[in-house]
């Protein structure tokens, strides 16, 4: 189910149209993964299949390797 109606852009005034996005002007930092994103991707690739998880401790151990540091802090508060 879409969040916005399909004609949402058509209802905007013409002055709201700024133009097309030029990919050459988009900052590279937005397209390159951060060190934390790279770490998470590596951790996910190293995980065994979820069917091999036997108990809650194993779920916690596997989760800690994936979530960001801030998320872990919130988890343990």
**Residue predicted with more confidence, 39 or 70:** 39
Buried b (16+ CB within 10 A) or exposed e, 48-68: eeeeeeeeeeeeeebeeeeee
- Burial class from Cβ neighbours inside 10 Å (0-12, 13-18, 19+) for residue 13 reads exposed
Question: What 8-state DSSP symbol labels residue 68?
Answer: -
Q: Which two tokens stand for residue 4?
A: 């916005």
CA angle 66, 43, 54 (to 5 degrees): 75
What is the residue extent of each domain of the chain?
Answer: 14-75
What are the pLDDT digits (tens) for 17-64?
888 888 888 776 666 788 888 888 888 888 778 888 889 888 888 777
Tell me the pTM. 0.38
């Amino acid at each position: 189910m879409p969040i916005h109606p399909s004609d949402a852009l058509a209802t905007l005034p013409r002055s709201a149209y700024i133009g097309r996005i030029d990919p050459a002007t988009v900052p590279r930092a937005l397209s390159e993964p951060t060190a934390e994103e790279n770490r998470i991707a590596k951790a996910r690739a190293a995980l065994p299949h979820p069917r091999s998880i036997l108990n809650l401790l194993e779920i916690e151990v596997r989760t800690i390797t994936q979530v960001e540091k801030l998320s872990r802090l919130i988890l343990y508060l």
